[in-house]
Amino acid sequence: MTSITDPVIALKGIGKETADHLGDMGIYTIEDLIWTFPYRHEDYRLKDLATTPHNEKVTIEARVESVPSVLYLGKNKSRIQVTVLAGRHLVKVVFFNQNYLKTKLTPGTIVTVSGKWDRGRQVINGTSIKFGPKTDNADFEPVYSLKGSIHQNKFRKYMRQALDVIGGDMDETLPKHLLEQYQLLPILDALEGVHFPKDANQAKQARRRFVYEELLHFQLRIQSLRKARKENEKGIAIAYDLQKVRQFIQRIPFELTNAQKRVVNEICKDLKEPHRMNRLLQGDVGSGKTIVAAICLYAAVTAGYQGALMAPTEILAEQHAKSLQSLFEPIGVKIALLSGSTKTKERRLLLEQLQNGEINILIGTHALIQPDVIFSNLGFVITDEQHRFGVEQRRILRDKGMNPDVLFMTATPIPRTLAITAFGEMDVSIIDELPAGRKEIETHWLKKEQLNAVISKMELEIRQGRQAYVICPLIEESEKLDVQNAVEVYEQLATIFNGRYNVGLMHGRLLSEEKDEVMRAFTEGKIDVLVSTTVVEVGVNVPNATFMAIYDADRFGLSQLHQLRGRVGRGQHQSYCILLADPKTDEGKERMLSMTQTNDGFKLAEKDLELRGPGDFFGKKQSGLPDFKMADLVHDYRTLEVARQDAAKLIYDEQFWQDAEYRYLREMLEESGVLTGERID
């Protein structure tokens, strides 16, 4: 009796060689085989030619009406054509290089033909032919992603056999109550339906089950990690002084938005708890994350702890230091800025004051968690923009005898689906509201030939004392071309403005001191127009800049365009963003239109995800997303949410760790290593 754990060689027709080929695809046992899902199905449902659009795939059942004609086109090349009657349609069927068909296609023969329908010429360009009427059960044929010399047809046969031999000999992998709750197909039916569906509905139901199962596995792993963190990783319970925090909030010259109030509460609650905070704070550009950071840092200070704020660049660190200074100085909270350019003497003093606790809040770049930076009592670390605080940094802090609460702030709105996927082990707070009275940035999409109009408008702004950014095209493959572009645009504008205005240039090939110098000159108003590649930093705040032109804007993703656009609209003046683009694809046009229609970063992020898919969303390099077999984060986000809730409930349920019906899920967790802590983050 063949069992599911047997090697594939136990199947008929599989010898050593085929078994090796399957092994190359990671398929060793019959079980491995049946969990290898097709990536699509060939649709062989019969179609009516009258309603089939041009160039669409069709399958028809037809009778041969003519003697086939063969045209020889050279060595081993031929074209065979025959007239057939399909329903009421007399059409031609053409095959290439299959002249053996000549003797078989005798008039009166019934055939089932699939191919591409050329509606104008009334010809089917055949891809497959079977003799006789179409059999039942052959509506869908699975197509697998195969390697090496294994052909689809052979593979299908192995699969058919595998499913037949396991018969009833397979345990259900999902607990009964979940199958019932969501009316999911039982495992055997689902396997049958995913490989050899009888109809479209069975295929759909099978997919639905496996999508849920896959996302449940994924979420169980994530939720287990999270649970383990909360239970095992001792953090600091920061008993802040609520009264003082309230007073601090009173002193802020504006009223917090409701969203700001909500996230302050979420973060402070975490501070108070004894487990270590690991939280992501998302808020669109300008949503006011800095003040939230300030309040929470202050809370830590009132409990006698030190706080740290880490920014990705010196400029940003300086900016933060400046704005926090004005809030904290009057109430006697001591802030210090530590960066690469801090002078040796000053640095020595600073480190001393940090170590003896005189400094309450330290702001800086990554440099502030370097080995010789010693805090007396660090309780809370905030990292701003794009910084994922890695395992390594956490180790450094732990080695210093600290396990502070950590908050990550990002202005990149991440669609909720991706947030709970990529950052699933983190808690997420979202500021989804902008302070009242903000002027919307006016965004226009122009053709590249309208560049002159753009320059006139830019000049108008500059003449009123404003400043402008010009962002150069993005060339993903080549930083060199990026730079070249920027230099060209820079020279062009410098010629046009001919000394009337100062034009600055910023690109990735500059040294970081040079970049800082350019940014500083722009911040201080010494540069009127800043030509830049995308290196112009996220978070840079020059409220006097009111104009941005983006060359070849269609080369950017929506989220990136939104980030760039967020450099303007930061002051009291009306701001403008001009997209210069001649997109060739519909998708590109849609992106440009979306930009002109909304300033809402979350909406754009959702749109971006929809248009480009999750892989492109985070950029090619580090998506941080798992590879799903069945699930698709764009379309299955509701299921993801459901699976997340179920997983969170399950792992806190005693039954889950004991009952037989959860055995398979527990085994999956054990194998993944999340339970033994082999995987941290």
Site residues, ligand ADP (CB under 6 A): 254, 256-257, 260, 283, 285-291, 411, 435, 541
How far is Cα 321 from Cα 337, in angstroms, rounded to an integer?
Answer: 6
Which is it for strands 306-310 and 576-580: parallel, antiparallel or unpaired?
unpaired
Q: Which is nearer to ligand ADP, 235 or 283 (CB)?
A: 283
Question: In whole angstroms, how close is the CB of 260 to ligand ADP at the nearest point?
Answer: 6
283 binds, among Mg ion, ligand ADP, none (CB under 5 to 8 A by kind): ligand ADP
Q: Which is nearer to Mg ion, 126 or 539 (CB)?
A: 539
Question: In whole angstroms, how close is the CB of 402 to ligand ADP at the nearest point?
Answer: 26
Residues 171/664, Cβ–Cβ less than 8 Å: yes
Q: Which residue from 515, 235, 218 is spatially nearest to 394, judged by alpha carbons?
A: 235
Residues 380/361, Cβ–Cβ less than 8 Å: no
Q: Which is nearer to ligand ADP, 285 or 474 (CB)?
A: 285
Question: In whole angstroms, how close is the CB of 216 to Mg ion at the nearest point?
Answer: 36
Question: In whole angstroms, how close is the CB of 409 to Mg ion at the nearest point?
Answer: 7
Q: Which is nearer to Mg ion, 539 or 583 (CB)?
A: 539
Q: Which residues contact 28 (CB under 8 A, 6 or more apart)?
A: 7, 8, 22
C-beta nearest to ligand ADP: residue: 288
C-beta nearest to Mg ion: residue: 539
CA-angle at 23, arms to 19 and 24, nearest 5°: 125
Question: In whole angstroms, how close is the CB of 610 to ligand ADP at the nearest point?
Answer: 25
Question: In whole angstroms, how close is the CB of 242 to ligand ADP at the nearest point?
Answer: 20
Question: In whole angstroms, how close is the CB of 522 to ligand ADP at the nearest point?
Answer: 17
CB atoms inside a 10 Å sphere around CB 362? 26
Q: Which is nearer to Mg ion, 161 or 282 (CB)?
A: 282
202 binds, among ligand ADP, Mg ion, none (CB under 5 to 8 A by kind): none
Question: In whole angstroms, how close is the CB of 412 to Mg ion at the nearest point?
Answer: 12
256 binds, among Mg ion, ligand ADP, none (CB under 5 to 8 A by kind): ligand ADP
287 binds, among ligand ADP, Mg ion, none (CB under 5 to 8 A by kind): ligand ADP
How far is Cα 561 from Cα 17, in angstroms, rounded to an integer?
Answer: 52
- Tokens 């699509």 belong to 40
Q: Which is nearer to ligand ADP, 82 or 430 (CB)?
A: 430
Lookup: tokens for 265 = 């509460």
Lookup: tokens for 169 = 């000999």
CA-angle at 273, arms to 272 and 276, nearest 5°: 110
**Alpha-carbon distances, residue 543 vs 175, 289, 440, 468, 547 (angstroms):** 57, 16, 14, 11, 11
Strand order through the sheet with 467-471: 442-446, 576-580, 545-551, 467-471, 529-532, 503-506
End-to-end Cα spacing for the chain: 44
Interaction site with Mg ion (CB under 5 A): 539
Q: Which is nearer to ligand ADP, 290 or 485 (CB)?
A: 290
Produce one character per residue of 448-460: b if its CB has 16 or more CB atoms within 10 Å, e if not.
eeeeeebbebbbe
Q: Which residue from 45, 99, 58, 50 is spatially nearest to 82, judged by alpha carbons?
A: 99
**CA-atom Rg of the chain in angstroms:** 32
Q: Which is nearer to Mg ion, 364 or 539 (CB)?
A: 539
Lookup: tokens for 262 = 């909500």
Question: In whole angstroms, how close is the CB of 529 to Mg ion at the nearest point?
Answer: 24
Q: Which is nearer to ligand ADP, 96 or 254 (CB)?
A: 254
Q: Which residue from 504, 576, 523 is spatially nearest to 547, judged by alpha carbons?
A: 576
Lookup: tokens for 227 = 């649970």
Residues 44/140, Cβ–Cβ less than 8 Å: yes
Count helices and strands (H / E) in the chain. 23, 21
Q: Which is nearer to ligand ADP, 151 or 322 (CB)?
A: 322
Question: In whole angstroms, how close is the CB of 286 to Mg ion at the nearest point?
Answer: 8
Q: Which is nearer to ligand ADP, 23 or 571 (CB)?
A: 571
Q: Which is nearer to ligand ADP, 173 or 260 (CB)?
A: 260
285 binds, among ligand ADP, Mg ion, none (CB under 5 to 8 A by kind): ligand ADP
Question: In whole angstroms, how close is the CB of 537 to Mg ion at the nearest point?
Answer: 11
How far is Cα 489 from Cα 451, in angstroms, rounded to an integer?
Answer: 12
How far is Cα 603 from Cα 609, in angstroms, rounded to an integer?
Answer: 10
Question: In whole angstroms, how close is the CB of 431 to ligand ADP at the nearest point?
Answer: 7
Question: In whole angstroms, how close is the CB of 500 to ligand ADP at the nearest point?
Answer: 31
Q: Which is nearer to ligand ADP, 256 or 367 (CB)?
A: 256
CB atoms inside a 10 Å sphere around CB 571? 15
Which is it for strands 123-131 and 140-143: parallel, antiparallel or unpaired?
unpaired
Q: Which is nearer to ligand ADP, 294 or 381 (CB)?
A: 294
435 binds, among Mg ion, ligand ADP, none (CB under 5 to 8 A by kind): ligand ADP
Question: In whole angstroms, how close is the CB of 195 to ligand ADP at the nearest point?
Answer: 50
Phi-psi category of 385—alpha, beta or left, where left has phi over 0 and alpha has psi -120 to 50?
left
Question: In whole angstroms, how close is the CB of 539 to Mg ion at the nearest point?
Answer: 5
Q: Which is nearer to ligand ADP, 260 or 443 (CB)?
A: 260
Residues 530/469, Cβ–Cβ less than 8 Å: yes
How far is Cα 278 from Cα 406, in angstroms, rounded to an integer?
Answer: 5
402 binds, among Mg ion, ligand ADP, none (CB under 5 to 8 A by kind): none
- Tokens 């229609």 belong to 597
- The letter for the amino acid at 5 is T
Question: Could you give the residue ranges of the DSSP H alpha helices within 574-600?
Answer: 586-597
Q: Which is nearer to ligand ADP, 187 or 538 (CB)?
A: 538
DSSP, residue by residue, 619-644: -SS---PPPPSS--TTT-HHHHHHHH
Question: In whole angstroms, how close is the CB of 289 to ligand ADP at the nearest point?
Answer: 4
Three-class DSSP category at 80 = strand
Strand order through the sheet with 335-338: 335-338, 361-364, 306-310, 378-384, 405-410, 278-283, 427-431
